[in-house]
């Protein structure tokens, strides 16, 4: 059985690697590799499922590869299989197989044909890793892969303004979910004093013994899990990102935001249900969140002028109901509801282009007057108020911008005094001074040393806020993100005495990818006059190799699982004590904003409408 689980992980990986080697013009071969890979995976999984059921359908836990081990920390790849995994893989494999066949004709002769199928296979690999994950660390690998593949597919029409802009919006919400998961991992490490697996979490005696004396930490972990699930499944107040994600091709909208990716928040709640099922306050919050989301998004869906947006908000409303079912403990009902909603929304999105033409035809030949609805029984003032609120989508976009993104931008603009000269003459010596204090720590008062981790992490946050708001120098923004990581490493070094190879592990990916990114920007600067952050430049059109290189560097700098920095980020949190919430807040905020800053640099420089007038002006939206 263990070998079969490994096979189910490696089949999508092999298919993805093979698809990278196929030339762009070989459409038949590219699409063939995609649906043959997914078809083989579906057949293999059905065979595995039959064997698993015949053998008593016992829960399987496979502790696979230890990527890093220290005295108090283990980063273990762990795979887990139960009925939740079975339902998600079955639905995911079947729907992805259908969509891959559909996409072959839908995207015929599209410029990004190869890019689309590469990304779909990459998404499918990340989806399998996330669903088979047996602990938070393995889940986080798949979670990150799903996030970046979502960004790439929303920005599929990379020469158009709205797809690129909405891709950043969606990625920013995903980033909040990523850090929620990181904080849950941090708190669970202090609760269990080990890297807990989902199998151990299903032991009620083991869980209750730990939660009796640490109820506050238990509630904090549960709330971080809920924030992550809400962000991924577009629950309030994050609901507005889902219709914006429909700027990608219709097949990707169907497979991502109709069926699979949008239901991963549901999966996270199902997977961690044994942990928070006895926390009444958390269950009440989940029920209220799901109920409020269902009511609000149903009202919004009823007034949408586009088919895709209507389907998106309808799907969010159903997911809100699934949240309620999980909170009440109806796990099997939630799985059935997930499968039904996924199949329905995939079908609706795939036929949505045809539905529009049918409706246009029917309004001329089969006109039917509007039927009376329950809203018509309300007083007209209330009816019109609800209508206007729904039409404005309850101002969810403006709300998120007002409470989150605008304060960040305004704070960053206050840091305009930071320049490359100040970086060289003031901040670099200050960092060297911090290193001096670190090496001669015994010569300084313990009270001063106790305040340094929080102070240095705050300086790191200032750096990344400046990078996020920078409008002129690309190199300045990139250097600020690099310095942010170095100051975080210095802050944590004061917090605990540990092996400095852990800091080197964290900074290794930052140094390599940061240097390669600077080299790429310098190379681009020698070939293009205009490289700044004031507008979208679309340089990937003329410099696709540099764009690909810089994307890889950007992913490495944000802690994507292609460098040791991915493990290093988790290590950083393991050295933050359970009472140091301010330090954890500064570090987690830095990780949120540095991902946004780096992706913003990439999109501004390489994506969007081309800034040269001799190129064709693309459509604003897809």
| pLDDT surpassing 80 at residue 394 | yes
Q: Check whether residue 195 and residue 53 sit in a common domain.
A: yes
| pLDDT surpassing 80 at residue 458 | yes
pLDDT tens per residue across span 505-559: 889 999 999 999 999 999 998 888 888 888 888 888 888 899 999 999 999 998 8
SS (H, E, C) 492-557: HHHHCCCCCHHHHHHHHHHHHHHHHHHHHHHHHHHHCCCCECCCCCCHHHCCHHHHHHHHHHHHHH
Whole-prediction pTM: 0.92
| pLDDT surpassing 70 at residue 69 | yes
Task: Say which residue the tokens 């159903």 belong to.
Answer: 318
Q: Check whether residue 422 and residue 351 sit in a common domain.
A: no
User: Tell me, what's the pLDDT at 342?
Assistant: 93
Domain boundary among 325, 344, 359: 359
Count of CA atoms in the C-beta half-sphere (13 A) of 335: 16
**Is residue 509 domain-resident?**
yes
User: CA 450, 456, 461: angle at the middle one, nearest 5?
Assistant: 140
User: Is the Cβ–Cβ distance between 136 and 73 less than 8 Å?
Assistant: no
User: Is the Cβ–Cβ distance between 309 and 256 less than 8 Å?
Assistant: no
Q: Check whether residue 341 and residue 460 sit in a common domain.
A: no
| pLDDT surpassing 80 at residue 222 | yes
Indicate the SS3 state at residue 36. Answer: helix
User: Is the Cβ–Cβ distance between 88 and 139 less than 8 Å?
Assistant: no
Indicate the SS3 state at residue 421. Answer: helix
* Contacts of 300 by beta carbon, 8 Å cutoff, 6+ apart: 239, 313, 390, 393, 394
- Calculate what percentage of the chain has a pLDDT beyond 70: 95
Q: Check whether residue 156 and residue 279 sit in a common domain.
A: yes
DSSP 372: P
Domain boundary among 320, 343, 359: 359
Q: Check whether residue 355 and residue 466 sit in a common domain.
A: no
Per-residue pLDDT, averaged over 20-29, amounts to 88
Q: Check whether residue 351 and residue 427 sit in a common domain.
A: no
**Is residue 331 domain-resident?**
yes
| pLDDT surpassing 90 at residue 92 | yes
**Is residue 323 domain-resident?**
yes
**Is residue 491 domain-resident?**
yes
Cα 536 to chain center, whole Å? 23
Q: How far apart are the first and last CA of the chain?
A: 45
How far is residue 438's CA from residue 561's CA, in Å, rounded to a whole number? 30
Task: Say which residue the tokens 């339902």 belong to.
Answer: 87
Domain boundary among 322, 341, 359: 359
**Is residue 273 domain-resident?**
yes
Residue count (the chain): 622
> Where is mean pLDDT largest: 27-41, 199-213, 419-433?
27-41
Q: How many CB atoms lie within 10 A of CB 404?
A: 15
User: Is the Cβ–Cβ distance between 170 and 151 less than 8 Å?
Assistant: yes
**Is residue 365 domain-resident?**
no
| pLDDT surpassing 70 at residue 356 | no
C-alpha distances out from residue 101 to 41, 120, 347, 491, Å: 15, 12, 14, 51
Q: If you write DSSP's letter for every residue of 251-318 in order, what string do you get?
A: HHIIIIIIISGGGHHHHHHHHHHHHHTT-HHHHHHHHHHHHHHHHHHHHHHTT-SSHHHHHHHHHHHH
**Is residue 382 domain-resident?**
no
How far is residue 507's CA from residue 486's CA, in Å, rounded to a whole number? 7
Q: Check whether residue 343 and residue 476 sit in a common domain.
A: no
Q: Check whether residue 283 and residue 418 sit in a common domain.
A: no
Pairing of strands 74-81, 60-69: antiparallel
Cα 254 to chain center, whole Å? 18
Per-residue pLDDT, averaged over 550-575, amounts to 88
Q: Which of the two residues, 182 and 324, has the higher pLDDT score?
A: 324
**How confident is the prediction for the chain on average, in pLDDT?**
86
Per-residue pLDDT, averaged over 410-436, amounts to 76
User: Tell me, what's the pLDDT at 117?
Assistant: 92
| pLDDT surpassing 90 at residue 121 | yes
C-alpha distances out from residue 365 to 135, 358, 360, 362, 439, Å: 57, 10, 9, 5, 82
Q: How many CB atoms lie within 10 A of CB 411?
A: 15
Q: Check whether residue 322 and residue 427 sit in a common domain.
A: no
User: Is the Cβ–Cβ distance between 587 and 455 less than 8 Å?
Assistant: no
User: Tell me, what's the pLDDT at 577?
Assistant: 84
Q: ω before 495 within 30° of 0 (cis)?
A: no
The tokens of 222 are what?
Answer: 């549960």
| pLDDT surpassing 90 at residue 88 | yes
Binned at pLDDT 50, 70 and 90, residue 361 comes out as low
**Is residue 58 domain-resident?**
yes
| pLDDT surpassing 80 at residue 291 | yes
Q: Check whether residue 461 and residue 593 sit in a common domain.
A: yes
pLDDT tens per residue across span 606-618: 998 877 766 666 6
pLDDT tens per residue across span 463-515: 888 888 888 889 889 998 999 999 998 888 887 777 778 888 889 999 999 99
User: Tell me, what's the pLDDT at 360?
Assistant: 62
How far is residue 457's CA from residue 441's CA, in Å, rounded to a whole number? 18
Among 196, 206, 207, 222, which residue's Cα sits nearest to residue 80?
196
The pairs formed by 21-25 with CB atoms below 8 angstroms and a separation of 24 or more are 22/114, 23/114, 24/113, 24/114
Q: Check whether residue 183 and residue 328 sit in a common domain.
A: yes
Among 123, 94, 274, 84, which residue's Cα sits nearest to residue 197?
274
Domain containing 559: what range?
Answer: 414-606
Overall domain count for the chain: 2
Q: Which of the two residues, 273 and 422, has the higher pLDDT score?
A: 273
Orientation of helix 113-132 relative to helix 136-154, angle to 10° = 160
Q: Check whether residue 309 and residue 426 sit in a common domain.
A: no
**The dihedral of CA 90, 96, 99, 104: what is its sign?**
negative
Per-residue pLDDT, averaged over 48-53, amounts to 90
Per-residue pLDDT, averaged over 176-201, amounts to 83
């Amino acid at each position: 059985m263990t070998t079969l689980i490994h096979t189910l992980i490696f089949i999508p990986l092999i298919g993805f690697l093979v698809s990278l080697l196929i030339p762009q013009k070989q459409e038949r071969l590219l699409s063939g590799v995609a649906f043959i890979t997914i078809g083989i995976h579906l057949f293999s999984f059905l065979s595995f499922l039959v064997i698993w059921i015949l053998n008593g359908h016992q829960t399987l836990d496979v502790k696979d590869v230890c990527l890093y081990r220290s005295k108090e920390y283990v980063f273990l790849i762990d795979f887990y299989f139960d009925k939740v995994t079975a339902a998600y893989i079955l639905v995911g494999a079947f729907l992805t197989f259908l969509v891959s066949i559909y996409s072959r004709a839908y995207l015929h002769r599209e410029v990004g044909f190869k890019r689309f199928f590469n990304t779909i296979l990459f998404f499918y690999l990340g989806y399998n890793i996330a669903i088979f994950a047996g602990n938070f660390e393995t889940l986080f690998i798949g979670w990150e892969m799903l996030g970046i593949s979502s960004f790439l597919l929303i920005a599929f029409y990379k020469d158009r303004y709205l797809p690129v802009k909405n891709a950043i919006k969606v990625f920013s919400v995903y980033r909040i979910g990523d850090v929620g998961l990181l904080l849950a991992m941090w708190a669970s490490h202090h609760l269990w004093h080990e890297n807990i697996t989902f199998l151990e979490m299903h032991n009620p005696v083991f869980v209750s013994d730990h939660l009796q004396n640490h109820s506050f930490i238990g509630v904090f972990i549960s709330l971080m899990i809920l924030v992550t699930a809400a962000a991924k499944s577009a629950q309030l107040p994050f609901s507005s990102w889902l219709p914006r994600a429909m700027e990608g091709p219709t097949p990707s909208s169907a497979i991502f935001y109709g069926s699979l990716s949008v239901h991963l928040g549901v999966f996270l709640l199902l997977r961690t249900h044994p942990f928070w099922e006895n926390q009444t306050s958390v269950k009440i919050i989940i029920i209220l969140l799901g109920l409020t989301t269902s009511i609000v998004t149903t009202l919004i869906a009823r007034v949408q002028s586009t088919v895709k947006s209507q389907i998106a908000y309808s799907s969010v409303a159903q997911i809100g109901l699934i949240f309620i079912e999980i909170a009440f403990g109806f796990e099997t009902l939630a799985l059935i509801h997930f499968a039904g909603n996924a199949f329905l929304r995939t079908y609706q999105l795939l036929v949505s282009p045809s539905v529009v033409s049918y409706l246009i035809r029917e309004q001329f030949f089969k006109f039917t007057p509007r039927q009376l609805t329950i809203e018509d029984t309300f007083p007209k003032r209330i009816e019109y108020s609800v209508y206007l609120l729904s039409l404005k989508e309850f101002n969810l976009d403006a709300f998120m911008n007002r409470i989150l993104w605008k304060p960040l931008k305004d704070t960053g603009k206050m840091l305009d005094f930071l320049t490359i000269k100040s970086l060289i003459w003031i901040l670099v010596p200050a960092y060297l001074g911090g290193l001096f204090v670190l090496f001669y720590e015994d010569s300084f008062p313990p009270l001063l040393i106790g305040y340094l981790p929080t102070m240095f992490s705050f300086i790191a946050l200032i750096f990344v806020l400046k990078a996020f708001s920078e409008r002129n120098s690309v190199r300045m923004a990139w250097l600020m993100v690099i310095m942010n990581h170095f100051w975080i490493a210095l802050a944590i070094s004061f917090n605990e005495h540990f092996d400095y190879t852990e800091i080197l592990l964290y900074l290794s990916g930052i140094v390599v990818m940061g240097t390669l990114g600077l080299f790429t920007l310098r190379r681009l600067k020698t070939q293009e006059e205009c490289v700044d952050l004031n507008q979208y430049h679309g340089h990937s059109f003329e410099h696709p190799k540099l764009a690909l290189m810089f994307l890889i560097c950007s992913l490495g700098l944000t802690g994507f699982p292609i460098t040791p920095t991915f493990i290093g980020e988790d290590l950083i949190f393991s050295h933050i004590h359970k009472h140091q919430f301010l330090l954890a807040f500064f570090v987690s905020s830095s990780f949120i904003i540095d991902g946004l800053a780096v992706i913003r640099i990439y999109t501004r420089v390489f994506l969007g409408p081309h800034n040269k007038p001799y190129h064709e002006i693309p459509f604003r939206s897809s």
